[in-house]
Structure 1
Amino acid sequence: MRAAKLLQYAFRQWKPAAKEVLGHSILVAQFFSLLHLTHTYICSPTLVYGPSMLPTLNLTGDVLLVEKLSPLLGKVGPGDVVLVRSPQNPRKCITKRIVGVEGDTVTFLVDPARSDRSHSLVVRI
């Protein structure tokens, strides 16, 4: 009988603290869920570096806030800077500017350092 009363007393003492801990745990779980959803589907910070986007991006590295809704909505077009998987090394992402979409004709210099010869291609996917 005495053990039962002692157990009831202990439970009454810890009940408010347990409720408070549970409440804070739920808030922390909601925060990390929102953070995960934002990072996965809306935007995320990414470190990019390399010479291919000079002078727009620094050779030593820049932090970009990558917006992820436009590709899902199909609103990516010429002039946009995109991050894509490298065809040579799929573990790496590369940063490029879109110059044409399907059906566009793109003209570029074959070897800009040595000649003014150009070549035109129709973009196909």
Structure 2
Amino acid sequence: MPVYLVPLMSFVAGVLIAMIASQRATTRAAQLQHDIARRGQLAHGVVTRIWRPPLAGSFPRIYFEFRPEGSAQALRCCHVDRRSAWGMSASLPAEGTTVAVRYLPENPARAVIARLVSRLGP
């Protein structure tokens, strides 16, 4: 193999490894969201902010507040919308909207906006 191809091959290998690692992390996070939506306790929250990262392929973040059952204080959380990009932006809740939240009672910081978790599975 010519010497000038070694850096190119190293770069391509690095890109492939990064893509695989990113896909695995995304899949794990989507599985966690499904688990929370399935097992979580229901509460109501309010959307406080929506952030769409400027990078292509980044997932929108929906920040919300809710009060877990038995808690005196509201909790602030972030839901990463991992659904397919097709038609997604029109279905995001607006700031100030009341939303159904599912959270794990043993760790209320693990919370998702119920309607934003795909029912089809990760």
Taking structure 1 as the reference length, the TM-score comes to 0.33
For the pair shown, the structure with the greater C-alpha radius of gyration is 1
Question: Which structure has greater helix proportion?
Answer: 1
Question: Which structure has greater strand proportion?
Answer: 2
**Could you say which structure has the greater relative contact order, defined with CA pairs below 8 angstroms and 6 or more residues apart?**
2
